[in-house]
């Protein structure tokens, strides 16, 4: 008989430097990107084929609730209302085959959306299920592709019933044999967010990509103190599972809060990657990322 312990010791000693480095550098995350608001940002399948993104939010479904016929706006890409976007189904499935989660983003900075009642939110959840998720409808704007989930980028309108919408959407995940409906949220960094503070407390959101920009008290302003303090506040909330740092992909992508790529990689990521809730970095948007080349510079550090 021989001892395996004797043979394993040299292997452990050889791996020790790598284990120490892994512990220091934190775990790997992914990059989330918003796509859909500029026809010059390339096709969806081209976006996914870059290999840089792990999550793609299709922006935006920005008209719904209160008796309105839901309407999606994909800017210069295609017109969902006329059936012009059904061809995206194959591109969505291409992305998903690469392991990329493709989600429908609700709201945005420009739109008309709010709920008049809990039942209004329930009806809209059913609409989303039948038209974008695992249900069935004759009028699916993006064809027969089944999206991975729904992102809440709620920035205007009423603050009510968003938590109900999250619960109703989550309930579809519980159906026998049904595909999980992932939920994402993009709150502003002042805590708590006016629109998403209550929904987030449900604990149902899989991904929270906080917008650490356009808000001077909690964004980068030449030093990282406010940014890190805000990150720590968000990450301390027990109901947040996976947290992303949301950033503008170029100086033109937001009014303020641009974080230079070298500062992100050298100063910010070494700190936030130590958080057990760290999920990666989110960027607005694919078009601006194309202009700046931001994610090309940071993808190996995330």
Query: What's the chain's length in residues?
Result: 302
Is there a catalytic annotation at residue 91? no
Find the helix or strand (DSSP H, E) in which 296 lies. Answer: helix 294-298
Contacts of 10 (CB under 8 A, 6+ apart): none
Q: Name the residue among 160, 181, 147 with its Cα closest to residue 113.
A: 160
Among 41, 46, 93, 155, the one annotated catalytic? 155
Q: What is the DSSP string of 109-167?
A: SS-EE--SSHHHHHHHHHHHHHHHSSS--S--TTTT---SEEEEEE-SS--SSHHHHHH
Lookup: tokens for 213: 């920009």
Q: How open is the CA angle 125-76-53, to the nearest 5 degrees?
A: 65
Catalytic (active-site) positions: 155
């Amino acid at each position: 008989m021989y001892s395996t312990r004797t043979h394993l010791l040299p292997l452990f000693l050889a791996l020790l430097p790598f284990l120490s480095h892994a512990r220091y550098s934190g775990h790997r995350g992914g990059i989330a990107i918003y796509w859909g608001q500029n026809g010059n940002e390339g096709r969806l399948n081209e976006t996914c084929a870059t290999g840089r993104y792990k999550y793609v939010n299709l922006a935006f479904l920005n008209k719904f609730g209160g008796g309105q016929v839901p309407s999606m706006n994909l800017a210069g890409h295609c017109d969902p209302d006329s059936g012009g976007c059904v061809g995206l189904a194959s591109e969505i499935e291409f992305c998903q085959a690469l392991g990329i989660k493709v989600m429908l983003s609700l709201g945005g900075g420009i739109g008309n959306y709010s709920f008049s009642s809990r039942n209004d939110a329930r009806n809209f959840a059913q609409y989303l299920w039948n038209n974008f998720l695992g249900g069935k409808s004759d009028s699916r704007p993006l064809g027969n592709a089944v999206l991975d989930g729904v992102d809440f980028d709620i920035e205007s309108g009423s603050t009510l019933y968003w938590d109900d919408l999250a619960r109703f959407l989550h309930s579809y995940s519980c159906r026998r044999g049904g595909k999980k409906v992932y939920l994402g949220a993009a709150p502003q960094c002042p805590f708590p967010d006016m629109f998403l503070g209550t929904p987030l407390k449900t604990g149902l959101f899989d991904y929270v990509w906080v917008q650490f920009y356009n808000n001077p008290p909690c964004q980068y302003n030449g030093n990282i103190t406010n940014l890190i303090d805000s990150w720590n506040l968000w990450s301390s909330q027990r109901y947040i599972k996976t947290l992303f740092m949301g950033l503008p992909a170029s100086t033109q992508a937001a009014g303020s809060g641009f974080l230079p790529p070298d500062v992100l990689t050298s100063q910010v990521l070494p700190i936030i990657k130590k958080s057990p809730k760290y999920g990666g970095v989110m960027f607005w948007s694919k078009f601006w990322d194309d202009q700046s080349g931001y994610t090309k510079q940071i993808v190996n550090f995330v």
